[in-house]
Amino acid sequence: MLYKKTLRHLAVAAAAVLAPPAMAQQNQQQDSVIIDKIYDNALTSYESYENLRYLTKQIGARLSGSPQAAAAVEWSRQVMERMDLDTVYLQEVMVPHWVRGDKEIGRITNSKLIGSADMNIAALGGTVGTGKQGLSAEVVEVKSFEELEKLGKKKVKGKIVFFNRPFDNTHVITGAAYGGAVDQRGGGPAAAAKLGAVGVLVRSMTNDIQDVPHTGSTRYEDGVAKIPAAAISTRGAEQLSSLLKDDPSLKFYMRMTSETLPDVLSYNVIGELRGTEKPDEIIVVGGHLDSWDIGEGAHDDGTGCMQSIEVLRLFNDVGIKPKRTVRAVLFMNEENGLRGGRKYAEVAKAKGEKHIAAIESDAGGFTPRGFGIDGNDGQYAKVLSWKPLLAPYGLHDLTRGGGGADIGPLKGQGTVALIGFRPDSQRYFDYHHTVIDTFEQVNRREMQLGAASMASLVYLLSKYGL
């Protein structure tokens, strides 16, 4: 306790020196006390962690259009309705309904070195199926779209293209490595189809070498043949690549029965505390309620949703009456369409709503490191002026650039600042889009630290604006 009080006193002293003139020392002291209460409450509460347990264990995977996604909408609405908020409502949005079908089969066949070997694969979201008989073809490996183009139709036609560009593990922030590799998943099948390929395998999007395949969306193009596309585990990718060097004529068999069904009506789930002084200025905090269908969607993005609800609970429990409206939004369909985020922005624009800030938690429930701020110089400077209040809680990284997929469509609506919550990134892509993204992988204390971090920033935004 003595150490904690010392940190608080140091924060107040530093803030008094660094704060702009409009923020008096008395306010800084009050803010420090409130933030301390937020953390005390969060770190001694099990409520949001138990909510995550229910979401992941009782409802499970929540791909848009599925019965589980519908159940998650109704359950989360009921959770917020029990919280004595000013408003809880559903916002209609039509979402895609893609289904994976039978368990995928992947197999190396007629290899001169090993004969045959089963490979762990996962259909990419939105892919077409292979037909019940599956498909078998020779494999051609590439690490870039430039390599693919150089091969040309003569060497690609009738084959399975294997995109095998790994993460660049020299990046300390693993999201940067993901960004440098994910284009082959999103655009690879369409690019390969233009050259006559019959199927695609993509190295899983992870910095680890593991047997677990990582799914994720792919995109087809109008006027281009839709060919089956699957992710292969990184260990499988390493083995396949090694075998191809000695036996380029080996074949790969893949079977997937995926299909896309008609769109389904779903909802964003929204709860808010209305501002006491400037209710028309809105601060959004949110995550996406949908998840991929092969795990439990715990880190991606059950934690983000439960942290967003937790922000509202913390305000109520601590007794914070926000000066500006604070709105928690659980977006639907981030994973394979982003329609929830687009619908929210569309409605906000039609209503003429004034959003001053939007915070998204969609990077896992790991130990908080800070926030990324996508805003103008004045907005960034104001957030940076709060660093002495936030740094004692581990929030040292307040950097330019940030936001998130679901809040991205708000960009350009007035001067809204888009803010991404940034936890430690090192383990996120071990679990991202996999069967092992389960409740057991989330640490309660780390998750609650994240919720307290978000609530503290929202408190400052609600009091001082941007």
Residues 377 and 412 in one domain: yes
Q: Tens digits of per-residue pLDDT, 95-147? A: 999 999 999 999 999 888 888 999 999 999 999 999 999 999 999 999 999 99
Mean per-residue pLDDT, 161-176:
97
> What is the pLDDT averaged over residues 40-49?
98
Q: How far apart are CA 400 and CA 417, in angstroms?
A: 11
* Whether 324 and 349 share a structural domain: yes
- Tokens standing for 425? 């990134």
Least confident of 26-35, 46-55, 188-197: 26-35
Count of residues in the chain: 466
* CATH number assigned to the domain comprising residue 160: 3.50.30.30
Q: Peptide bond before 246: cis, by omega within 30 degrees of 0?
A: no
Which among 189, 203, 264, 273 is positioned nearest to 236, based on CA atoms?
A: 203
- Provide the pLDDT confidence category of residue 3 given band limits of 50, 70 and 90: very low
Q: How confident is the model at residue 27 (pLDDT cuts 50, 70, 90)?
A: confident
Angle between helices 25-43 and 444-464 (to 10 degrees): 150
Residues 218 and 269 in one domain: no
The CATH number of residue 436's host domain is 3.40.630.10
Question: What was the pLDDT predicted at 26?
Answer: 79
Same domain for 122 and 253?
Answer: yes
Final residue belonging to a domain, choices 257, 273, 290: 257
- pLDDT surpasses 70 at 1: no
Give dist(CA 433, CA 292) in Å, integer.
Answer: 6
Q: What is the rounded distance in angstroms from the CA atom of residue 253 to the CA atom of residue 108?
A: 6
pLDDT band at 287 (very low <50, low <70, confident <90, very high): very high
Among residues 241, 257, 273, the one where a domain terminates is 257
Tell whether 253 and 303 lie within a shared domain.
no
* Whole-number Å distance between alpha carbons of 197 and 159: 5
458 and 399 assigned to the same domain = yes
Active site residues: 334
CB 289, CB 73: distance < 8 Å: yes
Q: Are residues 407 and 418 in the same domain?
A: yes
220-to-66, 88, 204 alpha-carbon distances in Å: 22, 37, 19
The pLDDT of residue 210 is above 50: yes
Give the pLDDT score at 21. Answer: 56
Q: Count up the domains in the chain and report the number.
A: 2
The pLDDT value recorded for residue 25 is 76
Return the pLDDT at 18: 47
Where among 230, 257, 284 does a domain terminate?
257
The answer to whether residues 187 and 299 belong to one domain is: no
Q: Is the domain of 45 the same as that of 180?
A: no
Residues 415 and 329 in one domain: yes
The CA distance from 406 to 344, in Å, is 9
Tens-place pLDDT, residues 217-243: 999 999 999 999 999 999 999 999 999
- Which residues span the domain enclosing 213? 101-257
Are 225 and 288 members of one domain? no
The mean pLDDT of 46-67, rounded to a whole number, is 98
Local structure of residue 215 (DSSP, 8 states): -
Quick check: 90 and 289 in contact, CB under 8 A? no
One domain, residues 117 and 94 = no
- Kindly give, in sequence order, each residue whose CB lies less than 8 Å from that of residue 63, ignoring residues fewer than 6 positions away: 69, 98, 290, 291, 292, 293, 335, 336
